[in-house]
Structure 1
Amino acid sequence: MKPIDIVILTDNRYTNPIERDAYIDNILLEDQLVQDALEAAGFIVKRLAWDDATFDWNLTKYALFRTTWDYFDRFDEFSIWLEKVSRETTLLNSAKMIYWNIDKHYLQDLAKKDVAIVPTYFMEKGDTRSLAEIHKELSWTETVVKPCVSGAARHTYKLNLTNIGEHENIYKELIMKEAMMLQPFMHQIVTKGEISLIVINGKYTHSILKKAKKGDFRVQDDFGGSVHEYQASKEEIEFAEKAVQACIELPIYARVDMIWDNKNKLAISELELIEPELWFRYNHDAATQLAKGIKEINS
């Protein structure tokens, strides 16, 4: 029997931060809410950085991804660690789910299961076409380009026919190293924002609305975006739960990011299954539901 039931995974910036601000306080609060809920459910819990070299991962039954927010900046290192640790303990969400969700080609799988996504065109690593050529082929005039493996809006650029040339060099560098994706710009991301619905064990728990700051289109707080409480409609809840059911297996937790597309229809922008912010501070019961879900799979 393993001495630790669950390790809550974070990154080393948040294990024992000396300097504190509202951003870090929220991270610590949310991780604590999860830890409290797990301990109330009877689990022995420890919180560690995913890259903690001193810890033997054979000592824990589960490793629960929460705030491992540096993994996409250290992807090669993270991939090696993930391969090793997945043989030593059970990951939540599972290793299979994580490998599927890391690369946004998963959007194609959702579309094949009749889940509406933002129209997406993939440029594979080594593609020699220019951005201008691709836009001409697709007849798209206003778009967003970004890597297929990314987070926190890394190398995410809004393009139009007048500024494509300014981004050709950085795109040429990126496409030689990694696959990229192109999507038509969805105007309501600016006017309405992006909603995130939290789904625990297949069931909706709560939602928030993310808005970009004036003059920007990126809703992430890294770029001045703001978060607002939001009451999801029945249609939005059913849409989110359907998207989660379309995954390769049912995730223990999921964040379904959706927008209203240019035809005013709901569409998935991203499905976050690895280390999404789940805003437990807006609904403490969601942490309890997460703990109950883990208890069920552990029984």
Structure 2
Amino acid sequence: MKTYDIIILTDKRYLEDSQTNTYKHNVFYEDYLVQQALQNENLTVARLAWDDPDFNWSDTKAILFRTTWDYFDRFPEFSKWLAMVSTKTKLLNSEKLIRWNIDKHYLLDLKSTGIPVAESYFIEAGTQITLAELHQQLQWNETVLKPCVSGAGRHTYKLSPENRADYESIFSELIQNESMMLQPFQHNIVNQGELSLIIFNGMYSHAVLKQAKAGDFRVQDDFGGSVTTYNPSETEITFAVNATKACPELPIYARVDIFTDNANQLAVSELELIEPELWFRNNHKAAGILAKQIALRLK
């Protein structure tokens, strides 16, 4: 049986390249860049779906979470698999970091260490409350509602006094089974965009600026947002690096999403440690930097 130094993890939708779907091609191409960089470090590498039924996870020294972008839709299955695989091989990032980062309650932990984060109010699963009651209690006008375990904009809604009642039924259904969070709508994200700074083992690599398309508030390119290369200030770099240092342990890779909040202060919107898009296609050298850090971890 062949053994590997590292397996790059994806989900089965992205195992093959696509010449007609730009999104799928970008996923495949970025994973390819990482695979080539790891091989340049004399590591044996393969790329598999995380739920591959035939692979023995003991046959690799480590696994690298890259594009497992169905985990939040299959979370109970993924969580069970994660517990199993953590006993078989080394996880990058670790199971401890992944489980901490999966649930956006981690924002409270960052805040407790002094890292400014997006203002957030958490509603625990099973809470009997309506959106109207929440907004009256918090005295918030425009808001964004989202699950605490989510990704790719799943069940993320912009609420206002005009449309809030339209979402009462879906909120009532969701809150019975999962915790949700409510945040004041951040106008500067729409006006200025959101920055994503890529940090490898506590060191800044590169950054992009994400901006929503006209008429939308979501900056993900899934929803038509744009992504451009960005040169951050030293203040922005230090802010992002400090956010990674506030994690339970230093992640080998992190994407720190930051923005200027409604009070015109830098804040973390999200800290992505599980399977973040890292825009290697914008900076090919970054794949080599990550590969070198991984090679050092495997020595």
Instruction: Give the TM-score, by structure 2 length.
Output: 0.98
Q: Once the 2 structures are TM-superposed, how far is the Cα of residue 67 of structure 1 from its aligned partner?
A: 0.7
Q: Which amino acid aligns with 1:170?
A: I
Distance 1:25 1:134 in 2: 42
- Matched residue SS, 2:72: helix
Distance 1:164 1:2 in 2: 56
- Matched residue SS, 1:270: strand
Q: Once the 2 structures are TM-superposed, how far is the Cα of residue 2 of structure 1 from its aligned partner?
A: 8.0
Distance 2:298 2:82 in 1: 21
Residue of structure 2 equivalent to 1:77? 77
- With over 3 angstroms needed to count, the CA separation of the structure-2 counterparts of 1:239 and 1:176, relative to structure 1, is same
Q: Which amino acid aligns with 1:158?
A: K
Distance 1:76 1:84 in 2: 13
Distance 2:32 2:162 in 1: 48
Q: Once the 2 structures are TM-superposed, how far is the Cα of residue 211 of structure 1 from its aligned partner?
A: 0.7
Q: Which amino acid aligns with 2:187?
A: H
Q: Select between 91-100 and 79-88 the one with higher mean Cα deviation.
A: 79-88
Residue of structure 2 equivalent to 1:94? 94
Residue of structure 1 equivalent to 2:124? 124
Q: Which amino acid aligns with 2:192?
A: K
Distance 1:18 1:191 in 2: 34
Residue of structure 2 equivalent to 1:298? 298
The within-5 A match list for 1:265-280 is 265-280=265-280
Distance 1:84 1:20 in 2: 36
**Is this contact kept in 2: 1:37–1:291, CA < 8 A?**
yes
- Matched residue SS, 1:82: helix
Q: Once the 2 structures are TM-superposed, how far is the Cα of residue 83 of structure 1 from its aligned partner?
A: 1.1
Distance 2:179 2:120 in 1: 13
Residue of structure 2 equivalent to 1:151? 151
Residue of structure 1 equivalent to 2:49? 49
The within-5 A match list for 1:102-181 is 102-181=102-181
Q: Once the 2 structures are TM-superposed, how far is the Cα of residue 18 of structure 1 from its aligned partner?
A: 5.9
**Is this contact kept in 2: 1:199–1:256, CA < 8 A?**
yes
- Matched residue SS, 2:250: coil
Runs of 4+ aligned residues of structure 1 deviating over 6 Å after TM superposition are none
Q: Which amino acid aligns with 2:171?
A: Y
How many aligned residue pairs are there? Answer: 299
1:132-185 deviation digits (Å, cap 9, x = unpaired):
111111111111010000000100011112211111000000000100001000
- Matched residue SS, 1:73: coil
Residue of structure 1 equivalent to 2:28? 28
User: How well do the aligned residues superpose, as a CA RMSD in angstroms?
Assistant: 1.2
- Matched residue SS, 2:48: strand
Q: Which amino acid aligns with 1:34?
A: V
- With over 3 angstroms needed to count, the CA separation of the structure-2 counterparts of 1:54 and 1:19, relative to structure 1, is farther
Distance 1:53 1:38 in 2: 24
Q: Which amino acid aligns with 1:97?
A: L
Residue of structure 1 equivalent to 2:65? 65
- Matched residue SS, 1:72: coil
Q: Which amino acid aligns with 2:87?
A: R
- Matched residue SS, 2:275: coil
**Is this contact kept in 1: 2:18–2:25, CA < 8 A?**
no
**Is this contact kept in 2: 1:2–1:61, CA < 8 A?**
no
**Is this contact kept in 2: 1:257–1:269, CA < 8 A?**
yes
Q: Once the 2 structures are TM-superposed, how far is the Cα of residue 282 of structure 1 from its aligned partner?
A: 1.3
The within-5 A match list for 1:154-233 is 154-233=154-233
**Is this contact kept in 1: 2:5–2:43, CA < 8 A?**
yes
Q: Which amino acid aligns with 2:22?
A: A
Residue of structure 2 equivalent to 1:254? 254
Q: Which amino acid aligns with 1:172?
A: S
Q: Which amino acid aligns with 1:260?
A: T
